[in-house]
């Protein structure tokens, strides 16, 4: 709380001295995770879509929602907090600038998408396409996905391949193995491109999920689970920064986001959905695995690396860059299509890709520390009616097979919980074209 008061007192100076913001809003290990960031941000909605943009002012605004203190197991929390930004067990012990510097020039120069190029809800895929690591058209294929996401982020071929396969099934073409990074789209899942979808049909909660860090739950915003809700971003931006976790480990002037602070963020964002979304659902793949794993992707894939900090760190400005957020706090804006890989940015080492095994290790670490974040259940049509199902078999599947074992065989639907009204919800509203 002390640091929050300080932030308010010095808010006027923040723009001139961005490092001061990092220090002032940085939470130490004992105080973060209980943020109360209020509303007041401007938002730049789709604008051209021709429909009223509720964004921050509608059902999705954060509006001063107060994160409850998550229940935690203190010895498991200590393990969670010891994680660096390269994943459980702190596996990145080397730094090779030549290997890790990600080119943002020449073929890989940033170019915002043009009107016939597709972008979707995933900041990682959008940034990769904006820099030519995936086709700038937004239509990619299995092979390019695996190669491009390794080059840009150090993503393991096991999870990149599995996610590409699932995407091809839902919004791609199994014959050509192409798929659209436009991802989940409304109106029965017809992809926003010319491909013929002959795979399984798309449904909200197959992969696209509720309780995203910065996007709205689909049911609350007429199917728009793509647009960044600036007040949701800002909640994380302000409240999940931890002092001493920046470029120089231990330096109290130097703050960054961590796997543990994002685990707490997920615990809170999913509690928000329980409190606000009558049809919130957390299914085995989309909710138990992917939704929290996406929070961990931000830390593991967007952190910058150096010889001094081989595990990496994620600063507020790098976080903003990947999420297409511009301006200085408190005047943050989302500028659609502007997801950028920063210049001079070093990804995780090629020797240590973020793969299925590391993905599992991070989730198990989180679930031990914050058991309630292992969500498998739904609201029954009214807010606050969340019932947690028996997670034992999902936990054992996660432990033994990881993300890849939740991906169904070709042609088979994704397993969903029964009796959850959210599963019947098919987004029908107008989504924004990119
Ligand atoms: C083939 C690989 C990938 C696929 C198919 C994919 C697909 C998606 C989809 C459909 C969503 C929306 C889910 C939702 O939040 O409801 C999403 C969210 C997200 N993805 Fe990806 N993604 C991939 C790789 C990556 C990579 C490499 C990164 C990081 C560099 C990343 C970071 C994220 C983040 C941070 C979110 C949550 C965004 C938010 O809460 O605002 N993804 N992804
Ligand atoms: C707390 O976490 C530790 C480490 O993961 C574990 O050994 C212990 O059984 C947990 N305690 C409870 C009460 O769940
Ligand atoms: C990444 O870290 C290196 C080494 O500290 C630094 O020179 C570079 O500016 C950082 N990049 C970004 C985008 O912050």
Instruction: Give the closest residue to 126 by CA, choosing from 138, 115, 141, 110.
Output: 138
pLDDT (tens digit, 9 = 90+) per residue, 260-298? 999 999 999 999 999 999 999 999 999 999 999 999 999
Burial of 376 (0-12, 13-18, 19+ CB in 10 A): buried
Count of domains in the chain?
Answer: 1
Asked, for residue 263, whether it belongs to a domain, the answer is: yes
The verdict on residue 180 lying in a domain is yes
What pLDDT, on a 0 to 100 scale, did the predictor assign at position 423?
Answer: 84
- Please, what is the angle between helix 259-276 and helix 356-369, to 10°? 70
Is residue 306 within 6 Å of ligand 3 at its C-beta?
A: yes
pTM value is 0.90
Is residue 429 assigned to a domain? no
Helices (H), 27-156: 74-82, 97-100, 123-130, 142-153
Extended strands (E) in 153-251 = 172-173, 178-180, 241-243
Residue ID of nearest Cα to ligand 3 atom 3: 306
Confidence (pLDDT) at 58:
74
- Considering every ligand atom shown, identify the ligand nearest to the alpha carbon of residue 365 and give its number: 2
Question: Could you give the CA distance from residue 83 to residue 260 in angstroms, rounded to a whole number?
Answer: 7
402 CA to centre of ligand 2 in angstroms? 21
Predicted confidence at residue 202, as pLDDT, reads 60
- Residue 395 in contact with residue 402, Cβ under 8 Å? no
How far is the centre of ligand 3, averaged over its atoms, from the C-alpha of 312 (Å)? 10
Strand 139-141's sheet: what is its strand order?
A: 139-141, 178-180, 172-173
Distance 181 CA to ligand 1 centre (A): 10
Measured from the Cβ of residue 385, the count of other Cβ atoms closer than 10 Å reads 13
Cα separation of 210 and 281, whole Å?
A: 7
Question: What is the phi-psi region of residue 356: left when phi exceeds 0, alpha when psi lies from -120 to 50, beta otherwise?
Answer: alpha
Q: How far is CA 266 from CA 83, 136, 206, 225, in A?
A: 17, 31, 19, 16
Q: Which two tokens stand for residue 339?
A: 């997801």
Question: Residue 312: CB within 6 Å of ligand 3?
Answer: no
Q: Report pLDDT for 188.
A: 44
Containing structural domain, residue 62: 2-424
Provide the CATH number for the domain around residue 68. Answer: 1.10.489.10
- State both tokens at 351: 């020797």
Kindly state whether residue 430 falls inside one of the protein's structural domains: no
pLDDT at site 204: 72
CA–CA distance, 66 with 44 (Å, rounded to integer): 24
Residues of the chain with pLDDT under 70: 1-55, 57, 184-203, 425-434
Is residue 433 domain-resident?
A: no
pLDDT value at residue 221: 77
Question: What's the confidence (pLDDT) of residue 426?
Answer: 59
Q: Confirm whether 118 is domain-assigned.
A: yes
**Ligand nearest to the Cα of 73, by number:** 2
| Residue 142: predicted pLDDT | 94
Are 114 and 135 a contacting pair, CB within 8 Å?
no
**How many A from CA of 316 to the centre of ligand 3?**
13
> Which pLDDT belongs to residue 174?
76
pLDDT for position 279 = 92
Which protein residue's CA is at the shortest distance from atom 42 of ligand 1? 124
Does residue 376 line the site of ligand 1, with CB under 6 A?
A: no
Do 403 and 162 form a contact (C-beta atoms < 8 A)? Answer: yes
């Amino acid at each position: 709380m002390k640091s929050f008061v300080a932030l308010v007192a010095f808010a006027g100076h923040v723009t001139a001295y961005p490092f001061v913001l990092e220090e002032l809003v940085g939470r130490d290990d004992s105080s973060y995770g209980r943020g109360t960031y209020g509303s007041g941000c401007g938002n730049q909605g789709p604008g051209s879509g021709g429909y009223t943009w509720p964004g921050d002012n509608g059902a999705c605004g954060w509006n001063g929602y107060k994160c409850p203190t998550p229940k935690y197991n203190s010895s498991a929390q200590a393990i969670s907090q010891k994680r660096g930004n390269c994943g459980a067990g702190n596996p990145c012990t080397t730094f090779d600038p030549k290997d890790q510097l990600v080119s943002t020039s020449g073929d890989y120069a940033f170019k915002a998408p043009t009107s016939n190029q597709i972008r979707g809800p995933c900041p990682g895929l959008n940034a990769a396409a904006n820099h030519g690591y995936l086709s700038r058209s937004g239509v990619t294929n299995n092979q390019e996905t695996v190669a491009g996401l390794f080059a840009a982020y150090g993503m393991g071929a096991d999870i990149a391949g599995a996610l590409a396969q699932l995407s091809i099934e839902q919004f791609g073409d199994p014959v050509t193995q192409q798929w659209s990074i436009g991802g989940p789209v409304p109106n029965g899942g017809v992809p926003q491109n010319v491909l013929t979808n002959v795979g399984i049909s798309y449904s909200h909660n197959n992969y696209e999920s509720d309780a995203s860090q910065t996007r709205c739950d689909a049911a609350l915003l007429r199917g728009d689970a793509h647009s960044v809700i600036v007040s949701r971003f800002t909640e994380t931006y302000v409240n999940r920064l931890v002092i001493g976790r920046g470029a120089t480990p231990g330096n109290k002037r130097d703050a960054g986001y961590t796997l543990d602070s994002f685990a707490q963020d997920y615990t809170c964002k999913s509690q928000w959905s329980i409190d606000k979304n009558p049809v919130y659902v957390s299914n085995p793949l989309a909710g138990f695995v992917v939704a929290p794993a996406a929070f961990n992707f931000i830390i593991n894939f967007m952190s910058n690396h150096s010889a001094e900090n081989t595990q990496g760190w994620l600063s507020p400005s790098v976080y903003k860059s990947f999420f297409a957020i511009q301006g200085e706090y408190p005047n943050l804006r989302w500028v659609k299509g502007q997801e950028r890989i920063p210049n001079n940015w070093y990804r995780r080492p090629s020797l240590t890709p973020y793969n299925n095994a590391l993905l599992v290790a991070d989730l198990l670490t989180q679930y031990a520390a914050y058991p309630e974040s292992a969500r498998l259940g739904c609201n029954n049509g009214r807010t606050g009616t969340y019932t947690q199902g028996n997670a034992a078999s999902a936990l054992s599947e996660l432990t033994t097979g990881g993300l890849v074992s939740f991906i169904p065989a070709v042609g088979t639907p994704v397993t969903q919980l029964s009796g959850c009204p959210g599963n019947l919800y098919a987004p029908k509203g107008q989504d924004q074209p990119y």
